[in-house]
Amino acid sequence: MKATRTIMGMPVTIDVADPRATGADLEKIFAYFVSVDEQFSPFKKTSELSRINAGEITEKEYSSAMKEVLRLCEELRRLTNGYFNIKKRDGTIDTSGLVKGWAIKHAADMLAKAGFRNFYVNAGSDIQVAGVNEKGKPWAIGIKDPFDPAGERIVKVVHLAHGEGIATSGTYLRGQHIWNPHDEAEKPIADIVSLTVIGPNIYEADRFATPAFAMGKKGISFIENIDGLEGYMIDVNGLATFTSGFEKYLQ
């Protein structure tokens, strides 16, 4: 069973290949994503995050989920030497760079706890898979051509069948929205257009994809040096560079 909803301003697709899945099972997952959006959206004035930024909530009043996410964000800031940083120049915080992958992972865990073994969860093209598809084969995931305005052309297809996650960071959909936090001039990343990361789960893949992209061409080497991650980078000239183990996902 497969269904799509627009949540967090992006398409969220749940595809459960197990025949016993019902619409109610999928709606529970969509409801979870809605709750995450209500809590962490930087655009909704009523969200917990926005209320924190407005000074309406003290640290003692943070929810357990907010405390967890902020802790994970700080951990990632240290791991990436500051290339991941939720603090904005205006003093507010934005956890979007970590929350999406975190939420997808939690949604997948919910499906697994419900007894499902074969599914994928796709939120804005960041994907967590489990098991195999309805044909009993690995999930085939396309990496989009960042130079195709329609978003229909695929440059590579990877095959995932061991619970991996795949996330792509880039400027081809949302425009220039990623900056090198170490650059005082706040110049957007100009030497690469997309960087796809495959990890043991979507949380690991997604949390490193954005800071790696913020490193520009150095990002692919950063991914190469993290155990369990593989990457595929496309530069502004259309030249692809990938990590040493990436080809194992190609067929």
Provide the percentage of residues in the chain whose pLDDT is more than 90: 88
Q: Give pLDDT tens digits for 189-232.
A: 779 999 999 999 999 999 999 999 999 999 999 999 999 999 99
Q: What is the pLDDT of residues 5-42, one digit of tens each?
A: 999 999 999 999 999 999 999 999 999 999 999 999 99
How high is the pLDDT of residue 175?
Answer: 47
Structural class in CATH, domain 2-249? alpha beta
Q: Are 197 and 224 in contact (CB under 8 A)?
A: no
Helix then strand then coil, in percent of the chain rounded to 5, is: 35, 25, 40
DSSP structure class, residue 179: B
d(CA 145, CA 74): 32
* Domain locations along the chain: 2-249
The whole-angstrom separation of Cα 220 and Cα 214 is 11
- The answer to pTM > 0.85 is yes
Phi, psi of 209 (to 5 degrees): -65, -45
| 8 A C-beta contact, residue 77 and residue 85 | yes
pLDDT of residue 178: 60
Determine the Cα–Cα distance for residues 103 and 116; give it in Å rounded to an integer.
18
* Residue (of 83, 71, 66) closest to 210 by Cα position: 83
Q: What pLDDT was estimated at residue 151?
A: 79
Work out the mean pLDDT of the chain and round it to a whole number: 93
Where does residue 228 fall: left (phi above 0), alpha (psi -120 to 50 degrees), or beta otherwise? left
pLDDT at 188 over 90: no
**Polymer length in residues for the chain:** 251
Q: What is the mean pLDDT of residues 129-144?
A: 96
Q: How many CB atoms lie within 10 A of CB 203?
A: 23
* Beta-carbon count within 10 A of 202 CB: 32
Quick one: three-class SS letters along 20-34?
CCCHHHHHHHHHHHH
Confidence of residue 109 (pLDDT cuts 50, 70, 90): very high
Q: What are phi and psi of 135, to 5 degrees?
A: -95, 5
